[in-house]
Amino acid sequence: MKRNPFFTSSLLAFATILPSVAANPDFKTTVQPILEANCVRCHNQSKVKGGLRIDTYEKLMEGGDTSEAVVPGKPDKSELLLRIHLRPIDEGVMPDEGKALKPEEVTILDAWVEAGAEWPEGVTLTERKPEMPKRVAMPTKIPSSNSEAAVMLDDLLQRENTGRGVITTDVISDNAFL
């Protein structure tokens, strides 16, 4: 079997980079989004499921009804990690509402606790809801030709790109690509 050298080298590079990223995850860019998207919905100031709040570091360290949620430096003693490692059919698996965490999210949380569960001072987590895509204004008339359809589509894309801050360039001829 012939192997693609680009694929092999990319895989090797990824395999060497991933452990260093996961070894010391940045709270704001990796840990916080996971907790806000998957945990804060049920463990916050207004909804304290299982006696556990995770919206602030202090509340997370207080733990829940059963035990300490996170023990910095000790993933095997951290109930939060034990629960996210359970199979979806197991009792007590977290999150119990919605989808299970992705394997890379579990790895990040494991590494975060192992590295000491650092949490920047003053950070309070809030529920992160999935962004709903903005509705695109559709043309109100049916184009009478392909060229009219192309112009309408170009106008629509230009409006959307401008609204999102995308910088576009002028159209160039096909010869310029050759």
- Judge contact between 111 and 22, C-beta under 8 A: yes
- Judge contact between 93 and 42, C-beta under 8 A: no
Q: Give the global pTM.
A: 0.61
pLDDT in tens, 27-63: 999 999 999 999 999 999 999 999 999 999 999 999 9
pLDDT in tens, 72-124: 999 999 999 999 999 888 888 898 876 889 999 999 999 999 999 999 999 99
Question: In the chain, what are the domain boundaries?
Answer: 18-114, 133-170
